[in-house]
Amino acid sequence: MRRRFRTTGAILVAALLCGALATRECAAAPTDDVIARGKALTIAGDCASCHTADPAKPFAGGKRIDTPFGAVFSPNLTPDRDTGIGGWSDDDFLRALRTGVAPSGAHYYPAFPYPNFTKLIRDDILAIRAYLATLAPVSNKAPPPELPWPLNYRVLMRAWNALFFTPGIIQPDQGKGAEWNRGRYLVEALAHCGACHTPKNAFGADRRDQALSGSMVQGMFAPRLDGAARSGLKSWSAADIAEYLQSGRNGHSHAGPLMSEVVLNSTSKMRDADVRAIAVYLKSLPAGAPEPEVTPPSPAQMSDGERIYRGACIACHELDGSGAPRIYPPLPGNANLQSANPTSTLRIILDGAQTVTTPRAPNGGSMPAYPKLTDQEVADVATYIRNAWGNAAPAVTADEVAKARTAK
């Protein structure tokens, strides 16, 4: 009887332990709501744009990302156990996003925006991981970085982090409303807008005193997102900002080549409430660094530029620059056009542009390229449109055009 009792007791203990483990596993399994939230967060973070090299293999990484220091290649985010994140624990994923350190202990380069993602709350990070775990696993090992010595040694990132990286989540501003705080969280953390729109120092770190005041990215100039009068968002309403993010255009401007990718993969698919929150937060930002004082261009350059404009541009943009809002962007008061750095304007003239199409704005438009114009002719017409109709921006030189031709 005693032996039978011990056997029965052992079975009961084993059953209880198995039941406890099963319950633990069930409790750990993410719910459909968590996965759906993770998908929405992944879209807001625009993860697909950087981590998809082959559209047939989304999130499988391998995309080349050029930086001023060389090229890096995005890692595989699918749940493949050998080349992706399928073998990672939750703590591994948290550590990567919050500190920029891989499970192997290797340090990521800040082309991976962990200085922004460190501000994310734990539940959001784990929701993103839960969504990524639902993807089809793809075997795809990213190529090694193409960086010169000694930057190819990741251990140097320890010094970079000590100098420029401040870990920690965003603390809500109790003096602001929930919508403003949500917008700040999205802009500064998840959507990492500063990665493109904040100027960098010589070491590639954000100039925090010039946040969102515009920066060069992959041969284009990402414009100011602060309240600067001419080249910022002062003339835009919150509704204008939301429309631009959701459709890629509004009555003031159209998304350029790099921002079009963000609109297609991210902001046009985001929840209306989140887009509105971003718009409210951006609209609240005061002007940061002063805009440069502009010396009026010479009458000769303005005259030469007007002649080229009349011959090549008025068919779409009209003689007065008014264009056709949301089809051909108007030029008077155009913030991008009046940026202190003219590179994006020059690249659009040289390379042409294609209006992004989204569900909210399915009709497309295009601008032809004008590569046959001489450097001086491009400089003249760019100077003209940057200073006609009440606009004001520094004159463009032929040397700047020559640099823009190769800034790709």
Binding site for heme c: residue ranges?
47, 50-51, 193, 196-197, 313, 316-317
Q: Which residues does residue 358 pair with via DSSP β-bridges, in sequence order?
A: 361
Tokens (6 digits) for 89: 């624990």
Residue that is written with structure tokens 């009068």 in the block = 229
- Give the residue among 97, 120, 43, 107 at the shortest CA–CA distance from 72: 107
**Roughly what angle, to the nearest 10 degrees, separates helices 257-265 and 238-247?**
80
Q: Which residues are annotated as a binding site?
A: 47, 50-51, 193, 196-197, 313, 316-317
Cα separation, 97 vs 122, whole angstroms: 10
CA 245 to chain centre: 12
Cα separation, 169 vs 189, whole angstroms: 9
Cα separation, 200 vs 67, whole angstroms: 11
HEC readout, the chain: CHHHHHHHHHHHHHHHHHHHHHHHHHHHCCCHHHHHHHHHHHHHCCHHHHHECCCCCCCCECCEEEECCEEEECCCCCCCCCCCCCCCCHHHHHHHHHHCECCCCCECCCCCCHHHHCCCCHHHHHHHHHHHCCCCCCCCCCCCCECCCCCCCHHHHHHHHHHHCCCCCCCCCCCCCHHHHHHHHHHHHHCCCHHHHCCECCCCCECHHHCCCCEEECCEEECCCCCCCCCCCCCCCHHHHHHHHHHCECCCCECCHHHHHHHHHCHHHCCHHHHHHHHHHHHHCCCCCCCCCCCCCCHHHHHHHHHHHHHHCHHHHCCCCCCECCCECCCCCCCCCCCCCCHHHHHHHHHCEECCCECCECCCCEECCCCCCCHHHHHHHHHHHHHCCCCCCCCCCHHHHHHHHHCC
